[in-house]
Chains A and B, each alone.
Chain A
């Protein structure tokens, strides 16, 4: 029984013609699997490696460099909320926004809420400093957050 669905495998294969070798597809493949399965398990790493004609340790080597990807013990919740903690947001109350999100879901950064709805993360500069403090919900940025607006935004998730 394979970990990756045939549909996921096909999507990964469709990336091959874009690059002169299959190794360059490591990041796109990790993104696809991570997005669909909310984690990249050891089994998934082995199957990605097989598809890309690499050793599983090579895929894991790349994956572990980027804190972005989670293993099966740390699977993501339904949504991933990133709170920016870099300088422009820090100067305009980013820390208070983070505290609000932590209290709302009873989680610390890096953890997933008990109901599996939200994984909270720190982000380094999200590149939206004209709207600091800002947060990222999955990959969509929300600007000019404060304790109230972030609470309202989270309510809708």
Chain B
């Protein structure tokens, strides 16, 4: 196969890649006037026909989401850009914002034109200080150049982008949690329906899109849907409900590899290819024991499953929750899955917003049970108890409002069903291996 040429990452290593001048020299904004003159419905159709699926985790078809807006709505429509990237292991959006902010801004302009919105709110997690400063400078450049504000490039289209900083809460990545937070409230996800497209930000029709998704929009409009569909995995002919996994994807590889990296590849590479060909292999000459396919809430692949295609359908076929954010975390064979799972559960317990009892209590109790196991006082029955708690929380069993809970349960289900031996050995040995440094990390 010919070497894949990055598109989303084409400019990130160029000098001064964040400036409007270099972005325009590379052909950026060259056709924005023409695109803003297209009928909005035509823009939606291009994105819909290209088969772009959301890059934030759920993989919902982007163009289809846009069609859910009410027709001929008289009042304001909002676009929220979800830049609250907080899923452990994920950092692709940070690189996009720090290195090529105009690619994102152009995507926002196109999306807003398509959905007839004049107000975009970019919800950025607080921790991304460098992204904030880069985007702030880029947005100011656009206003000065007439690319934002009133009557952009004489097309009659108006657009304002507001940068809004979060305050360190994972749940703000959930789209209705994000909306609540933007409105100045606790980031408690809303009960759906109504979905945001009908009643979202400030109770107006709203679309929430991920940063990488919007960057893809820019390229789809410039290069066409045929280009997009020439990359990735077409729909499974045996599954009429599979929309396929088209386009390039930013895969983050971290953990126990020689060269942790974020690499752009066609959707559908395997975990093994990512580790061996792009991340320099497993560190210290060791073997990988487990791989997180797309952020910890997606669960784990065991070593027999490393050849699973990491497209939207692949991880689900081997018992994972999905592709998630395509953040691959590699765990070597010297690491205990007990410690890894404890880390996942502690994260979810800390980040559960506390609104739904099964999630608030379930994540806390799972963490407590794992703390006990790590202290050398575990019992074999604890494993069934963990499975029982994990099986009763989330949207899938129907006990919570949002999917954070499913993402909290999944690593537990996968770790215990795929690595039960690790847990049994740990419990039977009665050892307490927690170091003083780990003890510091245990605190809530």
Partner-B contacts on A (CB < 8 A): 18-21, 23-28, 30-31, 52, 61-62, 65-69, 82, 85-88, 90-92, 94-96, 98-99, 102, 108-110, 122-132, 136, 138-141
Contact = CB atoms under 8 A, between A and B. Distances in A.
Contacts of A28: 164-165
23 contacts: A18-B162, A23-B184, A23-B185, A24-B182, A27-B164, A27-B181, A62-B186, A82-B127, A85-B441, A87-B255, A87-B340, A88-B89, A90-B441, A92-B256, A108-B443, A109-B443, A122-B441, A123-B127, A124-B88, A125-B86, A125-B89, A126-B127, A129-B329
B423 interface: no
Given A24-B182, A123-B127, 6 more contacts: A24-B202, A67-B168, A68-B167, A87-B347, A98-B440, A124-B170
Contacts of B260: 88, 129-132
Contacts of B168: 66-68, 123-124
Contacts of A98: 437, 440-441
B94 interface: yes
A69 B167 contact: yes
Contacts of B311: none
B343 A90 contact: yes
Secondary structure of the B side of the interface?
Answer: mixed
B109 interface: no
A109 B230 CA distance: 50
Contacts of A86: 88-89, 343, 347
Interface of B: 76, 85-91, 93-94, 125-130, 132, 160, 162, 164-170, 181-187, 202, 252-256, 260-262, 292, 296, 327, 329, 331, 335, 339-340, 343-344, 347, 350-351, 353, 435-438, 440-441, 443
A140 B127 CA distance: 8
Given A91-B335, A109-B440, A21 B169 contact: no
A124 B88 CA distance: 8
Contacts of B129: 136, 138-141
B162 A19 contact: yes
A110 B443 CA distance: 10
B70 to A, nearest CB: 18
Given A24-B183, A88-B329, A96-B437, A124 B91 contact: no
Given A27-B166, A102-B440, A129 B184 contact: no
A90 B441 CA distance: 9
A97 to B, nearest CB: 9
Contacts of A140: 129-130
Contact of A108 (B130, B169, B440): B440
Given A88-B255, A91-B255, A125 B184 contact: no
Given A23-B183, A88-B255, A141-B129, A65 B169 contact: yes
Contacts of A108: 440, 443
A91 B331 contact: yes
A28 B142 CA distance: 22
B184 A130 contact: no
Contact of A125 (B90, B130, B339): B90
Contacts of A88: 88-89, 254-255, 260, 329
Contacts of B187: 65-66
Contacts of A96: 437
A98 B439 CA distance: 11
Contacts of A94: 441
A147 B206 CA distance: 46
A140 B128 CA distance: 8
A92 B255 CA distance: 7
